[in-house]
Structure 1
Amino acid sequence: MVPLLLQLAVLGAALAAVALILISFVAFITATEMPHLHRQEDEKFFLNARGQREALPSIRDSPTKQLSVVVPSYNEEKRLPVMMDEALGYLEERQKQDPTFTYEVIVVDDGSKDETSKVAFKYCQKYGSDKVRVITLVKNRGKGGAIRMGVFSSRGKKILMADADGATKFPDIEKLEKGLNDLQPWPVSIRI
């Protein structure tokens, strides 16, 4: 009885692995060039820590960071500081442990009616615009639109979306990264 259950478990695991490989293969083969991202003129720039406008990078550029964290935010002036303190605390500590680790946090203010951009910009001033960037959308595009804008403006080899409400626990990133590394090898042209 036990050998039969063991054989079924091994067969199930093998089928799951084959399915994952097949899905990855189909996604790679059918992927086309990324669509154009329409930006309002004011959405092509971010303010650096000194308050000067700088052009946003493109996802088409070569990655210069190991990790980008995109935070879509709509009227999050009250909840954003808790999430940012936890995220930046973790990311800074990780960088102290491993000086080769690089990251950026991109807060995308999705046309908020409150002070979300100002709250986020204080983190930019504290940590520098190389680590924290704020993109303020002219009008609300919805969560998907805000995520898309952040992803298309990221510099990371890996891109993570985290909600401003603090639902993501940042130490769990290492578990996610380990899982992704276990799926290697990835084609060189894919950014995760």
Structure 2
Amino acid sequence: MCPCLLQLLFYLIVAAIAVVFVIVAVLLYKTKPYPTIVRHADEKSFLDPQSIQTIAFPCIEDAPTLELSVIVPSYNEEKRLPFMLDECVAFLEDKSKRKSNFNYEVIVVSDGSADATVSIALRYSKKYGADKVRVLELIENRGKGGAVRMGMLSARGRQLLFADADGATKFAEYDKLEESLSSLASEWRQDGIAIGSRAHLEDDAIARRSFFRTILMHGFHTLVWLFAVRSVRDTQCGFKLFTRSTARKLFTSLHVQRWAFDVELLYLAERLKLPMSEVAVRWTEIDGSKLTPFWSWLQMGSDLVMIWLRYTAGAWRIAAIEKKEN
């Protein structure tokens, strides 16, 4: 190789190192290491539609008083939410009748909805009582991750499940997750996550999807494996069950508030070496998704890279580790 080419290669390597250094320096300077969780005054309480009184939400730091909290993030879900809540509450009511020590709450988190999501959820609260169904109305749209986090921080359960408002996962699959979580953690002070998974349905999904969407799916899975999570095949299924201890650690440490929050949660869980199990669930695609195939996947892909870069550079730190060390 001629000297001029070697010199050019040297300059390119130096330039690349300089660019990486600048990016890391900017991230360290501009990024807060721990998430700032802002909660407006109106988001600290919920309406009891039977008594027409507002009642303060509890805190994730409190001891649990229920067996299960179900968090349902909802953004303009007036059409899909009723079907999901019908199935969810019917299952939980039946379970509470069969098991005398089982009690529950459902927290519908309206993520700045502009439709009838809140009024629909309040109808269920009025029907079943605010001890069983509560509505957390966020002042502005935070993103799905932000909505799930606010619900988790307001929950009373020993176990905390977040379930998508579309009802794509049959709610009876909770029993599978509960059994799996119980094998990881015998009580709420221990750590564990049972992750609903559609990985077993991937071949059928590929057969139904267009070639373009299949490429996007495989590209996203590759990015997840390269930059974030390697022990879970399906990071995006909206059906995950946590012990209270684990929910507290993860959701107080979560930075990402939009679609890629699942990946950060599981990335944090791997970093913290929390016990996890992946459980195959029955899942059906439901019309009305808020995801747009290309731009949403592009945004999630860039979020994945930034999650890895920020944690690797030390711009983001894990609040749960900081609390443990202190």
More divergent stretch after superposition (138-147 vs 178-187): 178-187
| Distance (Å, rounded) in 2 between the aligned partners of 1:128 and 1:187 | 25
Alignment of 1:76 onto 2:77: yes
| Distance (Å, rounded) in 2 between the aligned partners of 1:94 and 1:49 | 25
Deviations 1:92-145 (A, max 9, x none): 000111121010000000000101000000000000000000000000000000
Deviations 1:124-169 (A, max 9, x none): 0000000000000000000000000000000001000001101121
List structure 1 runs of 4+ shifted beyond 6 angstroms.
none
**Structure-2 residue corresponding to 1:46:** 46
Instruction: Among all aligned residue pairs of Structure 1 and Structure 2, give the percentage whose two residues are the same amino acid.
Output: 54
Q: Following TM superposition, by how much is the alpha carbon of 1:57 offset from its aligned partner in structure 2, in angstroms?
A: 0.6
Deviations 1:49-77 (A, max 9, x none): 32211111100110011110000000001
Alignment of 1:39-188 (within 5 A): 39-50=39-50, 51-185=52-186, 188=189
Number of residues paired by the alignment?
159
User: Matched residue of 2:108: which SS?
Assistant: strand
Q: Following TM superposition, by how much is the alpha carbon of 1:186 offset from its aligned partner in structure 2, in angstroms?
A: 6.2
Q: Following TM superposition, by how much is the alpha carbon of 1:185 offset from its aligned partner in structure 2, in angstroms?
A: 4.8
| Distance (Å, rounded) in 2 between the aligned partners of 1:154 and 1:62 | 10
| Distance (Å, rounded) in 1 between the aligned partners of 2:40 and 2:101 | 35
Cα pair distance change 1:187/1:90, threshold 3 Å: closer
Cα pair distance change 1:125/1:178, threshold 3 Å: same
Cα pair distance change 1:185/1:84, threshold 3 Å: closer
Segments of structure 2 that go 5 or more residues without pairing to the other structure are 1-33, 192-243, 247-326
Across the aligned residues of Structure 1 and Structure 2, the Cα RMSD in angstroms comes to 1.7
Bigger Rg, structure 1 or 2: 2
Q: Following TM superposition, by how much is the alpha carbon of 1:170 offset from its aligned partner in structure 2, in angstroms?
A: 1.3
Cα pair distance change 1:187/1:143, threshold 3 Å: closer
**Structure-2 residue corresponding to 1:20:** none
Q: Following TM superposition, by how much is the alpha carbon of 1:41 offset from its aligned partner in structure 2, in angstroms?
A: 1.1
